[in-house]
Amino acid sequence: MENSIGKRLSKARKAKKITQEQLSELTGMSVSEISRIETGRNSTTIDTLLKFCEELDVGLDYLLFDYFPTDSDIQNPTVKQIVALIEPLSNRNLDFILNWINLYVSHLN
């Protein structure tokens, strides 16, 4: 599981176009420590994850996704594609998309 946190951290960092060196400067952590977390060689604390979340504009739930139980798998392949596309987006972008979908659905009636 720890490796999945690292993969999500790396994905979020790359989505923001931030290098490990830049993230190091923003968080006060060494580049080597960030690298070890991203590759799953080191675990980290919630406090450190919260620092990453703040700098990368993602929620803690994004990094810890695999630790949350799921009630059901998404069966619809189109919905799966949509989720895959929006999953790495920032909370701000996700809020925009949610508002747009709500507006769209409200005009269907």
Residue 72 lies in a domain: no
Residues 59 and 96 in one domain: no
* This prediction's pTM: 0.59
Torsion angles phi and psi, residue 104, rounded to 5? -60, -50
Does residue 63 share a domain with residue 82? no
Sorting pLDDT into bands at 50, 70 and 90, what band is 10?
very high
Give the position of tokens 């790396």: 10
The 10 Å Cβ neighbour count of residue 5 is 22
Dump pLDDT digits (tens) for 56-80: 999 888 888 766 545 456 778 888 8
Q: Is residue 34 part of a domain?
A: yes
* Structural domain range at position 88: 77-106
Confidence of residue 14 (pLDDT cuts 50, 70, 90): very high
Distance (Å, rounded) from C-alpha 80 to C-alpha 66?
Answer: 16
Residue 23 sits in the same domain as residue 60: yes
Q: For residue 19, name the pLDDT band (cuts at 50, 70, 90).
A: very high
Identify whether residues 11 and 37 lie together within a single domain. yes
* Residue 1: predicted pLDDT: 45
